[in-house]
A and B are shown apart, each in its own frame.
Chain A
Amino acid sequence: MRNPQSAIENPKSRAMLLAALYIAQEQYGWLNPEAIRRVADRLNLTEGQVRSTASFYTLFKLEPQGRYRIQVCEGLSCYLVGGAEPMMDFISKKLKIKPGETTPDGKFTLEVVECLAACDLAPALKVNDELYGQMTAEKIDALLEELRNV
C-alpha cells in the first residue's frame, strides 16, 4: 500500500512493531541485540528497520537499565516550583550517579525527562511507570529508602 519498498507485504503487521518492542523490552530489561533480532524475525522486518525505529523513541532502551528508572521532569512548571535541576542534583548526590548513569549494583538509573503532563503535581518524577508528585527533599529520601529495601 503506502510503502511498496517495505520488507513486508502487509503494513498492518509492521503496525505491531511498537507493541512488540514493549514486550521484548519487558522480557529482556532492555532492547539487546537478541531482543532486536527476535522482534525483526517475528514481524518479518530487517534488524536495521527495527533498530532505526526503536532509536526514535526515548522509552525504548538500547542500553541496559537499572531496576528502577528514576525520571526527573525538567519541564518549565516543575522548574518554577523548585523541581528540575535542583531536584536532579539532590537525587544525583544521594545515588552518587549522574543523569544517564546506572548505579554499580544495577538498582537505579537516573534520567531527565520532559513535561510528564503532571504540572499540577509539580515538582514531579516517575519511577518506572509510577508517577510521584509534589516532591520534597523528605519525600525523595523516603522514596529512595523504600526502593533500596525492596
Chain B
Amino acid sequence: MFEPILTRNIHRPNSEKIATYLAHGGYAAVKLALTKTPDELIEMVKRSGLRGRGGAGFPAGVKWGYMPKGAGIQKFVAVNTDEGEPGTFKDREIVERDPHQVIEGVIIAAYAVGASRAYVYIRGEFFLGVKRWIKAIADAYEYGFLGRNILGSGFDLDMSVHRGAGAYICGEETAMLESLEGKRGNPRLKPPYPAQAGLFGLPTLVHNIETLACIPHIVERGPEWFASIGTAESKGPKIFSVSGHVNRPGNYELPLGVTLREIIYEHAGGIRGGRELKAVIPGGASTPMLTASQIDVPMAYETLKAAGSELGTGAIVVLDVTTCMVETARRLTKFFAHESCGRCTPCRIGSQRLYETLDRIESGKGTMDDIDRAVELARGIDGITFCPMGAMLVNPARSAIQHFRPEFEYHILNKHCLVCKSKERNYG
C-alpha cells in the first residue's frame, strides 16, 4: 500500500499551523540540508528524478544546475501558486493545509542555488491561501527558519507573498515575473530563461509548489527512495485532482505510474450513477483527451505522451456518456480564447476563430466544412506562438474531433446534440 507523503499532514486538525508541522517532524530536512553543500543538494535533486509539477515536467535538478554559481550575483526563487488550469485544485489544497512543507522546500532550494529572496506569487482568487501563506511565512520567521543566519548556518533568506489579480496567463513563468514586477502579465520571449535573466533581470528559479513540497522528503529520505517510486521516467508521488462525473471528486496522492483506471474506479469511487465512461482529460484542460478504451494507461510523463496526451498538472476530468464532446471542446476553447494575453496574433485571433467555429457547430448552425476549418485553425496556431499557450489551447478541440468526429457531424446534420437532452438539470 502506497503511503501518502505530500498529503500526509493535511487531514490532521490545524494542519496549516507551524506547531502541527513541527510536531510531525517538520523542518528537520532544512536542518539536514544546511549541513550539506549546495552542490550536494543539486546532485540529490538530479538523482531523485523529480520533474516539475506545474505542467511542463522539466527535470528540477537540471534547472537548479542552470542557475549561475557564486555569491556575487543576487538570485531569487519564485514560487508559483497561480493554479488556474481548469480541473486542477491541488495547489490550493497544499497552501491552505500544509504551507510549511512548501516553505521548507523553498528554503532548501534557495540555499542550494544561492538565492537570498523568495517571492511567492499566488492566484488572486485564493483568499484563504493568501492568508495561510502570510501567517506561515510570519511563523517561519519567528522560529528562525527565515531571515538572517537561518539556524546559525550563516544563510539568509527573505520571503514575501504577492497576490495575482485574475489572469490565467500569469501562471506561465515569464508572465508571472512580469506580474511580480507590477506589469501586465505578457509572457517574455525565451531564451533567456528565468534561470539566466528572471525577476528584475536577475537569475530566478521558478517552481510550482507541489515540486517544492517534494524537496524536503528527497533530502530527508534520500534521492534513491524518491526514485524508487514511479516509472522509468516519472519518479515520485503525485497529487491527482479528480473531478467531473465521479462519485468521490478530490485530490489523491499516488505514485506516478498508477493507471487512470485505478484512480477513477478505486480511488475516486467510479462513475456517478454507475454510468458508462466516455472520455477523460488526464492532465488539466490543456491536455488532449483520451477515450474510455485508453484508461489502462499509466499516469506517467512517457506513457501519456505515447498515448497521445500529457501528464500536465495531473488533473483528471472524468466525462461519462451523458457528456457532449462538442460542448466540452467549445467550453474549454472559450476559456483559452478569453485568457489569451493578446500579444501574438495566432493565439489572440486564432483562439477566437476556433471558439466561434465550435460554437457554431454546437448551436446547430455549423456546416460540414467547419470541422475541417477547426482542425485547420488548430494547425495554424500550434507551434508558432510566442509562448506555449498556443500549443495548449488547441488540444481540447483537436482531440475531441480526433476521437469523436461523428458527434460533431451529428450536430451539424441534425442541428442539435446527440446527448445533451439527458444533461442534469438541478435548477428550476
Contacts and interface: CB of A to CB of B under 8 A. Distances in A.
Interface in A111-128: 113-122, 126
Contacts of A74: 331
B75 to A, nearest CB: 15
B236 to A, nearest CB: 22
Contacts of A113: 125
B174 to A, nearest CB: 12
Nearest to A126: B125
A17 B165 CA distance: 11
Nearest to B197: A2
A143 interface: no
B165 A114 contact: no
A119 B281 CA distance: 14
A1 B46 CA distance: 33
Interface string A71-96: 00011110111101011011001000
B399 interface: no
Nearest to A12: B200
Point out which of A19, A80, A82, A137 has the most chain B C-beta atoms below 10 A from its C-beta. A80
Interface string B397-428: 00000000000000000000000000011111
A55 to B, nearest CB: 8
Point out which of B83, B88, B166 has the most chain A C-beta atoms below 10 A from its C-beta. B166
A149 interface: no
A129 B315 CA distance: 24
B182 interface: yes
A92 to B, nearest CB: 10
A5 interface: no
Contact of B427 (A21, A82, A122): A82
A122 B243 contact: yes
Interface string B183-203: 111000000000000001100
A120 B249 contact: yes
Interface in A1-39: 1-2, 11-12, 14-19, 21-22
Point out which of A59, A77, A84 has the most chain B C-beta atoms below 10 A from its C-beta. A77
B81 to A, nearest CB: 10
Contacts of B125: 59, 113, 116-117, 126
A77 B183 contact: no
A56 B187 CA distance: 13
B63 interface: no
Contacts of B245: 80-81
A86 B165 contact: no
Contacts, number: 154
Contact of B164 (A18, A52, A81, A136): A18
B284 to A, nearest CB: 10
Contact of B163 (A19, A87, A137): A19
Contacts of A90: 427-428
Contacts of A17: 182-183
A81 B341 CA distance: 29
Interface string A40-63: 000100000000110011111000
A145 interface: no
A105 interface: no
Interface stretch (B149-157, B210-218, B332-340, B376-384): B332-340
Point out which of B86, B164, B245, B285 has the most chain A C-beta atoms below 10 A from its C-beta. B86
B251 interface: yes
B15 interface: no
A130 interface: yes
A57 B125 CA distance: 11
A56 B185 contact: yes
Interface string B111-150: 0000000000001111110000000000000000000000
A129 B126 CA distance: 8
Rank and list the top 4 A-B pairs by shortest CB-CB distance, nearest first. A17-B182, A57-B165, A58-B166, A119-B243
Interface of B: 83-89, 91-92, 123-128, 162-168, 179-185, 200-201, 241-245, 249-251, 281, 285, 315, 317, 319, 323, 327-328, 331-332, 335, 338-339, 341, 424-428
